[in-house]
Amino acid sequence: MHLLLASVSSATSPAGVCRHAANIARGMAANPSVDKVTMFVGEWQSTYFREDFSLNAARLDIQSVFIANTSIARNFWYFHTLPILARKLNADIVHLAFPMPIQRSGVPIVVSLHDLYPFDIPRNFGPHRAWLNRTALRLCLKNAAAIACVSEPTRTRLHQLFAWLNPARTTIIPNSVSLPSPSVQLPESLKGSPYLLCVAQHRANKNVALLIQAFRLALDHNIIPPTFKLVIVGNEGPETPTLHHAAAESRLSDRIVFLRNLPDAVLAALYAHCELLIAPSLLEGFGLPVAEAVAAGCRIVCSDIPAFRSLAPSDSAFFDPTDTTAASLLAAIKRALIAPHIAAVSPSGLDPEQAAVLYLALYSKLKQPRPTTLPTPLPAGLRTSGDL
């Protein structure tokens, strides 16, 4: 089987959907039933896919796409160029790592659906952008042969919003977890300091401003010592100015460390040495940081939402993320800090190679017979790196 995996996104540094794509590639390339995985990423993404995610399997070919990193250019590439590439390369399946506007072609298309944020929390996309994301999502759902939802809450919400969608076209394949051993040192700014960890993009649903408020209260009420820091790992987004303003207003600029663009080895070290992993989200389709924290053996504080309930151990410190006073989160932090540390656990079904078995079963149902003719050369305008 030849899988074409598309993960051309705007992210100039690692993000959750990029890690999801990397884990699909890792698991599929390790499966003996797969002849080749061709992965397309933007040229601005190629370094972190190859180096930060350590993707170097023999059957994995990462191709850089040379287009402008703009919404128009990326959408055009998915809608117009990707189908041409899929046919020219004799791909058996195209897998989109996240929804993008696509058209039907001779190659079956699978899309990973992480959430329904364009409908449920449009603020995530900044002003005047949510309707574009809704349009792209509708088009993608209409033309995809199969939709792989990352969780049961995501699948349930999908069918609530799109009653016309045939349930036979949707399935559940959880995100997989793959972090290396924490063999590297922590960033210099954290050496010798205990810290609380939050892994979240700067978006409204992540609710990070509430965590900053709770961190200030925890210091003021001596729940944590003054030596503690708060580490927030994630790409910048619409909420970035709000978060930096909240840190300054709370007199925490020297206690909060914002990090981004981290190799997997450094992220693994952050999980391994944190006092708590805190996930304050209002809404999630899955919750990869919670799954990674479980695998790393972190003590966990997380909001009481369905996605986290399905991932976090029952003895995690859950709290009400809608309590804007931060009292519920503060109480959860207090409970978690006196709880014993737990052993690292590999969540069942969340290993990339296990996930690959589920994806292969889905692909096999959709796979069309291979053409007997040899592929024709690519048009000169479809420029990528490497030899296709």
Whether residue 103 is predicted with pLDDT greater than 80 in this model: the reply is yes
Residue type for position 253:
S
Task: Report the distance separating Cα 190 and Cα 385, nearest Å.
Answer: 38
What token pair was written down for 255?
């206690």
The predicted structure's pLDDT at residue 68 = 97
Helix H or strand E encompassing 132 = helix 130-143
More confident residue, 290 or 16: 290
pLDDT of 125: 82
pLDDT of residue 370: 59
User: What pLDDT score was predicted for residue 1?
Assistant: 94
Dump pLDDT digits (tens) for 273-293. 999 999 999 999 999 999 999
* The 195-199 sheet, strands edge to edge: 256-259, 229-233, 195-199, 276-279, 300-303, 317-319
pLDDT tens digit sequence for 20-67: 999 999 999 999 999 999 999 999 999 999 988 888 888 999 999 999
Residue 387 has pLDDT above 50, yes or no: no
Structure tokens at 157: 């919400």
What is the residue-averaged pLDDT of the chain? Answer: 91
- What is the distance between the alpha carbons of residues 111 and 149, in angstroms, rounded to a whole number? 8
Label residue 386 by pLDDT band (50, 70, 90): very low
Tell which CATH architecture fits domain 188-337: 3-Layer(aba) Sandwich (3.40)
pLDDT at 305: 97
User: Using one digit for the tens of pLDDT, what is the confidence trace for 296-355?
Assistant: 999 999 999 999 999 999 899 999 999 999 999 999 999 999 998 877 776 555 789 999
Residue 339: phi, psi to the nearest 5?
-80, 150
Percent pLDDT > 70 in the chain is 93
Pick the CATH number of 2-176+350-366 from 3.30.420.40, 3.40.50.2000, 1.10.1530.10, 3.20.20.70: 3.40.50.2000
Residue intervals in the chain for CATH 3.40.50.2000: 2-176+350-366, 188-337
- Give the per-residue pLDDT at 388: 38
Tens of pLDDT, residues 140-155: 999 999 999 999 999 9
Task: Give the angle 380-367-45 at the CA atoms, nearest 5°.
Answer: 45
CA distance 43 to 384: 9
For residues 341 and 15, give the distance between their C-alpha atoms in angstroms, rounded to a whole number. Answer: 28
Express each pLDDT in 166-219 by its tens digit. Answer: 999 999 999 998 888 887 888 888 988 999 999 999 999 999 999 999 999 999
